[in-house]
Amino acid sequence: MAQHAGKLILYNTLGREMQTFEPLVQGRVGVYGCGPTVYNYAHIGNLRAYVTHDILTRTLRRMGYEVTYVMNITDVGHLSGDNDEGDDKMLKSAEERGKGVLEIADFYTKAFFNDTERMNIERPSVVCKATDHVGEMIDLIGRIEANGYTYLSGGNLYFDVGKFPTYGELSRRNERKTRARVQEDPNKRNPQDFVLWFTKSKFEDHALVWDSPWGRGYPGWHIECSAMSIKYLGEQFDIHAGGIDHVPIHHTNEIAQSEAATGKRPWVRFWVHNEFLVQDKGKMSKSSGGFLTLQSLADAGYDPLDYRYFLLGGHYRSQLQFSWESLETAKNARRSLVERIRVLAARAGPERLDQGSCASGLSEQANGYLSAFNRALEDDLSTPRALAELWGLIRNPDIEAGEALACAFDMDRVLGLKLDGVARAAMRDGDDSEWEKEIERLIAERTAAKKVKDYAKADSIRTILKEQGILLEDGPAVTLWHKIQGWTAPPED
Ligand code: AMP
Ligand code: ZN
């Protein structure tokens, strides 16, 4: 297993600059990522956030760190506005579907992990549900109260941002001067104050309630992330991740609560935020409806890994515009990648496949690609550059097939494109039968494209096959194929 001594540079939202990552405890990293609110399917924008967390944790692990990655499941307390306004997302969904809140939560949690598995996103080390941690939330709120940061008003317990001088440090906005967008809660002293515990609200009939020192009720949304991350990662930890929308309110409030409770600063040292996936110039969002799910991409003929490949083609801190055309481009690129891996596997032979390692005795050229790949990821997780290095490696005719394959697998420990499985499928039974089946499948797809006069697609399939050393010959009834004599993989473009 390759392991190297590079330094990871991350853009830290706290401070707004690139910083060299150092963990609190040598060799170990604690990562917390805000998980889904399970009132509906994840949309493909949400999945961008989880692929970002996946690339981060896989990179850290490949660098040799022992990573504890914690993800929460929000099944209580999340209102449609992050600032305590709007509908309760879980309640509304349960009512609309005529089901219980926990039944809804259970259904969409399963659906979420089904999606992440299909995208080869690794399971977090700890997955924790908010409803299982209300005791921890009550304890943490008690500490915040004991330290003098709270007030009771209209039956709810609020966090008083006026008592917390560094409030808004993460978002760099003077929050106290910013007016809330919607009608203000008259119970609040300051529009940025937020609820820690609800006993009285517009949801008098809230389905889930617990006893607490402040009365029977339920927690605010932000407190769950503070309580669960502290439980599993300690009062100070290394990295907190989430979507960019969480900077001004949710993460700002998480910091205020956690530091007010423990008195320790900084609560979290590195804040990693992914930019949005956008569609037609707007953010994709669950609450606005009409969003795309992974299943809707699958129904349109795309493999979940095509979408993963599409996401890797953009840097996590840049907005990414979703379009069917660019997904199609990603699909074709991944297909070419898979074909090349099959060719390399067929050349290398099964024994090379099982050796697996590319750590020692690498040729200078292969080592060059691998080092550049590592540098790309260590430079704020640049997956587009990392992908380019993978392509360079597998296209280089001077690199021996077994070596290229071993290095590609090593790179794939972060990219997560299941290249190992592809190669093994090609090798099964020691012959090319899987690969040949794939060629037949591509030819059938090309014939179908020609039938509907989609010549661009037909041509692109011909090109993909040619790049893999396969020539097509269109006969009157069928298309024949044969391997180009003495073919070797073409050099890098
Ligand atoms: P939610 O389930 O709404 O709490 O969101 C789950 C995660 O997805 C959070 O980290 C959000 O910041 C993130 N997110 C929401 N919308 C998008 C989007 N359009 N693109 C990327 N990330 C998003
Ligand atoms: Zn959170």
Judge whether residue 109 has pLDDT over 70: yes
DSSP label of 182: S
In DSSP terms, which residues pair with 12 in a beta bridge? 17
Q: Which of 176-190, 230-244, 274-288 has the lowest mean pLDDT?
A: 176-190
Pocket probe mutation, ligand 1, options 52, 127, 224, 245, max atoms within 8 Å of Cβ: 245
Rg of the chain over Cα atoms, rounded to whole angstroms, equals 26
Q: CB–CB of 232/70 below 8 Å?
A: yes
pLDDT at 493: 42
CA distances from 447 to 85, 361, 386 (A): 55, 45, 35
Distance CA 111, CA 121 (A): 14
How confident is the model over 328-349, as pLDDT tens digits?
A: 999 999 989 998 998 888 888 7
Nearest ligand to the CA of 220 is: 2
* Burial zone of 5 (CB within 10 Å; 0-12 exposed, 13-18 middle, 19+ buried): exposed
Closest ligand 1 atom to residue 278 Cα is 19
Q: What is the rounded (10 degree) CA torsion for 281, 245, 61, 230?
A: -170
Judge whether residue 205 has pLDDT over 80: no
Q: Go through 448-465 and write b for each residue having 16 or more CB atoms within 10 A of its CB, e for each that does not.
A: ebbeeeeeebbebbbebb
DSSP label of 229: H
Closest ligand 1 atom to residue 33 Cα is 10
Distance CA 388, CA 394 (A): 10
For 201, the 3-state DSSP assignment is coil
418 CA from centroid of ligand 1 (Å): 25
Q: Give me the DSSP letters along 378-430.
A: HBT--HHHHHHHHHHHHH-TTS-HHHHHHHHHHHHHHH---HHHHHHHHHGGG
- Domain map (residue ranges) of the chain: 9-274, 324-427, 433-483
**pLDDT higher at 340 or 90:** 340
Nearest ligand to the CA of 252 is: 2
User: Atom 2 (ligand 1): residue with closest C-alpha?
Assistant: 36
How confident is the model over 414-447, as pLDDT tens digits?
A: 999 999 887 777 665 445 666 777 788 888 899 9
331 CA from centroid of ligand 1 (Å): 24
Nearest ligand to the CA of 319 is: 1
Residue 176 binned pLDDT confidence (cut-offs 50, 70, 90):
very low
In CATH, what number does 9-274 get? 3.40.50.620
pLDDT at 88: 78
pLDDT at 179: 46
Question: What distance separates the 2 farthest-apart alpha carbons in the chain?
Answer: 84
Pocket probe mutation, ligand 1, options 46, 320, 322, max atoms within 8 Å of Cβ: 46
Judge whether residue 466 has pLDDT over 70: yes
Distance CA 442, CA 463 (A): 11
Judge whether residue 369 has pLDDT over 60: yes
Q: Token pair of 289, please?
A: 């409806």
Q: Is residue 430 left, alpha or beta, with left meaning phi > 0 and alpha meaning psi from -120 to 50?
A: left
Closest ligand 1 atom to residue 244 Cα is 12
For 344, the 3-state DSSP assignment is helix
| Nearest residue to 450 (alpha-carbon basis) of 461, 439, 463 | 461
Q: Token pair of 118, please?
A: 């299909």
User: Atom 11 (ligand 1): residue with closest C-alpha?
Assistant: 243
Residue 287 binned pLDDT confidence (cut-offs 50, 70, 90):
low
Judge whether residue 303 has pLDDT over 90: yes
DSSP label of 432: S
Q: CB–CB of 242/46 below 8 Å?
A: no
Class assignment of domain 324-427? mainly alpha
297 CA from centroid of ligand 1 (Å): 18
Q: CB–CB of 46/277 below 8 Å?
A: no
Angle at 121 between CA 389 and CA 82, to 5 degrees: 115
Judge whether residue 208 has pLDDT over 60: yes
Ligand 1 cavity residues, CB under 6 Å: 34, 36-37, 45-46, 48-49, 242-243, 245-246, 274, 276-277, 283-286
Nearest ligand to the CA of 223 is: 2
